[in-house]
Amino acid sequence: MIRVAVNGYGTIGKRVADAVLKQPDMRLVGITKMTPNFESIEAMRRGIKIYTSKENMSLFRSKGVEIHGEVEELFRDADVIVDATPNGVGAKYKQLYQSLGKKAVFQGGEKADVAQVSFSALCNFNEALGKDTARVVSCNTTGILRVICTSMHIGEIEKVRGTIVRRAADLKEVKKGPINSIVADPASVPSHHAVDVKTVLKGLDIVTAAVVAPTNLMHLHTLFVTMKEPPSKDKLMEEFANTSRIVLIRDISSTAELFEAARDYGRPRADMPEVMVFADSISVNSKEITFMYAVHQESIVVPENIDAIRALNGVNSSMEITNQTLGILKGVFP
Amino acid sequence: MIRVAVNGYGTIGKRVADAVLKQPDMRLVGITKMTPNFESIEAMRRGIKIYTSKENMSLFRSKGVEIHGEVEELFRDADVIVDATPNGVGAKYKQLYQSLGKKAVFQGGEKADVAQVSFSALCNFNEALGKDTARVVSCNTTGILRVICTSMHIGEIEKVRGTIVRRAADLKEVKKGPINSIVADPASVPSHHAVDVKTVLKGLDIVTAAVVAPTNLMHLHTLFVTMKEPPSKDKLMEEFANTSRIVLIRDISSTAELFEAARDYGRPRADMPEVMVFADSISVNSKEITFMYAVHQESIVVPENIDAIRALNGVNSSMEITNQTLGILKGVFP
């Protein structure tokens, strides 16, 4: 049993905690939480042990939230800590994890040098095997890497160019914008996504441009992939159809419909941890492959976090059990 | 004096009418309007003669809107009719314009075969000289063509790839969406924009993908242009800076800020008929040029409509006077 602590119980942390609870070889020793909001009540209802700072304990208890101890006690009980704290905070915790001799999984909001390896299960699982620290790349980068590493099965890639249309905020957020604007983010090229992809695929020629749109459901990417030799569309479709964590969508062309489909399907929180590729958008023209897909920012990195936990613990096979326990799809949806 | 009638007084029609009023060599003989809404009151206030169908006359008069006659009377008085009717309606009017022996300018919502030439002032002004009919390509296509034909001044283009993030509706529209979704529109490649560009630049290798975002201010494009030889960034910047109808923006990265800047600048209706290029997004890497720019869907085609009127009437110099009378900018804004 791998004992897992989740540090931070926000958008990513609560999903990783739920996913850990479903793994036969893992035990969730607890989570940390700094504010006693509805999410901590929900964690308690699920029987999850909550840890906080010494100063916050009385505040939590005054709200009726049971506290099991201080943050550091939790970390001591764990083999691996999944750091799901806000961007940049993980780097501050790193020393504590190290001084306690604990392995740690960081998120893509941290700089690449926070960990020994930047991680994408479909691209470089083995690189993380037995390491002390791994950083699961961000949601958009995870999406790009899944489709790129899958495309690599049918031939060598010459270059990748793409545009990332980002959602402005997550569903629960009420203070972020824009509400009526398209924002070039940044108004320079490349966006950090191309740079982040290269932390995993070191030599790849990739340039991305990113804009933000006033919506909160999913990101949407358009990718232009140039191969070294003219690829077969049939082979590409076959690879996409047979790769877990990639789903082909038909008769749906928007993130709103995808969200509704996930709600109808009965997904917890209407999550879509798969890359949702618009099947009709896949086109091959000489050496060029073009396609469009949606990325669910809140959940896409969850299976990768589970795989990273196993990889750090030297378990050299993870994806299949992660896919099974989390009900990850492949092929055509819905 | 070129006598101009504007058929349809919606988003494009009212702007073209205003622009015609500013031309020293044109006379606005009148406009047509089918519904007596606030726009017709405003036209009357500006002293513009309004024409409608026989059936609609009493309705307009009951609302206090003065009517000068029937639609066909207006057309008879004109040398050129600018058709600014809804998408596809122009094609139905075409026969009437022809039977009256009138020249006509159509909009990009019509199919390319509605007119003898698809028109972009910076690309193919001369092709429209003396013709009977021209079709000003759509707002997005006008934007693409302006930057592409300007880029061609510094070298030959090998190919263009790009993503168009479209606004969902215009400011006055209350029934169109999406309001919280990114829509692949279509969820296939290429979008019609690449096809439309080729109605002007026939041999160009161009592929575009398009998505719709829930905003109503402007479109935003990301373009990857591959040249046949490595281009000079300085020369490209110089071309962009010295071409009217293209503006370089600094310290602004969103359509919301652009709209506010146009309001502050005192532009009628806060219009931005220029292509607004994010200066810092222009990057040159070997043979590739990448840049991002915003396109104001409501006004970008207005100067091109004015130029098309002159071209059809055999006037072989138009852009400069259009730019002057409409206060079209070049260089750095704001």
Amino acid identity at A110: E
Cβ neighbour number for residue A125 with a 10 Å cutoff: 20
**Running DSSP on this structure, what letter comes out for residue A113?**
G
Q: Which residues of A touch B (CB under 8 A)?
A: 161-163, 165, 167, 178, 180-189, 207, 209, 211, 213-220, 222, 224, 252-257, 278, 280-281, 283, 285, 288, 290-292, 294
Amino acid identity at B66: E
Domains of chain B: total: 2
**Same domain for B37 and B102:** yes
Does B222 sit within 8 Å of A211, measured CB to CB?
Answer: yes
**Same domain for B24 and B77:** yes
Closest residue by Cα to residue A258 from A289, A290, A219: A219
Q: Which residues of B touch A (CB under 8 A)?
A: 161-163, 165, 167, 178, 180-189, 207, 209, 211, 213-220, 222, 224, 252-257, 278, 280-281, 283, 285, 288, 290-292, 294
Q: Are B167 and B218 in contact (CB under 8 A)?
A: yes
For residue B242, being part of any structural domain is answered with yes
Closest residue by Cα to residue B164 from B111, B221, B105, B241: B221
For residue A244, being part of any structural domain is answered with yes
**Same domain for A255 and A192:** yes
Closest residue by Cα to residue A145 from A169, A170, A162: A162
Residue A275 confidence (pLDDT) above 90: yes
**Same domain for A282 and A229:** yes
**Helices A38-45 and A11-21 meet at what angle, rounded to 10?**
0
**Same domain for B102 and B6:** yes
**Same domain for B145 and B131:** no
Cβ contacts from A onto B, under 8 A: 154
Give the CATH number for residue A119: 3.40.50.720
**Same domain for A97 and A34:** yes
| d(CA A238, nearest CA chain B) in Å | 18
**Same domain for A283 and A154:** yes
pLDDT in tens, A3-30: 999 999 999 999 999 999 999 999 999 9
For residue B38, being part of any structural domain is answered with yes
Cβ neighbour number for residue B200 with a 10 Å cutoff: 24
Token match 């002390």: residue? A132
Does A217 sit within 8 Å of B184, measured CB to CB?
Answer: no
**Same domain for A310 and A287:** no
For residue B175, being part of any structural domain is answered with yes
Give the CATH number for residue B270: 3.30.360.10
SS3 string of B123-159? HHHHHHCCCCEEEECCHHHHHHHHHHHHHHHHCCEEE
> Which residues are within 8 A (CB) of A195 and not within 5 positions of it... i.e. 6 or more apart?
none
CA distances in angstroms from A144 to A86, A277, A311, B134, B174, listed in the order given:
22, 11, 21, 43, 36
What percent of chain A stands above pLDDT 70?
100
| d(CA A219, nearest CA chain B) in Å | 8
Q: What is the pLDDT of residue B105?
A: 98
pLDDT in tens, A222-264: 999 999 999 999 999 999 999 999 999 999 999 999 999 999 9
**Same domain for B72 and B215:** no
Residue A59 confidence (pLDDT) above 90: yes
Of the candidates B188, B290, B294, which has its C-beta nearest A207's C-beta?
A: B290
Catalytic residue list contains B139: yes
Q: What is the pLDDT of residue A334?
A: 83
CA distance B253 to B292: 10
CA distance B208 to A324: 38
Please, what is the Cα angle at B87 between B86 and B88, to 5 degrees? 110
B112 strand-pairing partners: none
Residues of A with Cβ-Cβ distance to B215 under 8 angstroms = 178, 180-182, 213-214
CA distances in angstroms from A25 to A244, A273, A306, A322, listed in the order given:
21, 21, 11, 11
Q: Are A161 and A207 in contact (CB under 8 A)?
A: yes
CA distance B173 to B176: 7
Predicted structure pTM score: 0.94
Nearest-by-CA chain B residue for A186:
B253
Q: Which of B31, B65, B139, B276 is catalytic?
A: B139
Does B217 sit within 8 Å of A180, measured CB to CB?
Answer: yes
For residue B333, being part of any structural domain is answered with no
CA distance B50 to B41: 10
**Same domain for A208 and A273:** yes
For residue A288, being part of any structural domain is answered with yes
Tell the burial category of B307 from Cβ atoms under 10 Å away from its Cβ (0-12, 13-18, 19+).
buried
Structure tokens at B254: 């969103």
Count Cα neighbours of B79 within 13 Å in the Cβ-side half-sphere: 17
Q: What is the pLDDT of residue B334?
A: 83
Nearest-by-CA chain B residue for A254:
B183
pLDDT in tens, A113-171: 999 999 999 999 999 999 999 999 999 999 999 999 999 999 999 999 999 999 999 99
- Taking only the tens of pLDDT, chain B with its 334 residues reads 999 999 999 999 999 999 999 999 999 999 999 999 999 999 999 999 999 999 999 999 999 999 999 999 999 999 999 999 999 999 999 999 999 999 999 999 999 999 999 999 999 999 999 999 999 999 999 999 999 999 999 999 999 999 999 999 999 999 999 999 999 999 999 999 999 999 999 999 999 999 999 999 999 999 999 999 999 999 999 999 999 999 999 999 999 999 999 999 999 999 999 999 999 999 999 999 999 999 999 999 999 999 999 999 999 999 999 999 999 999 998 8
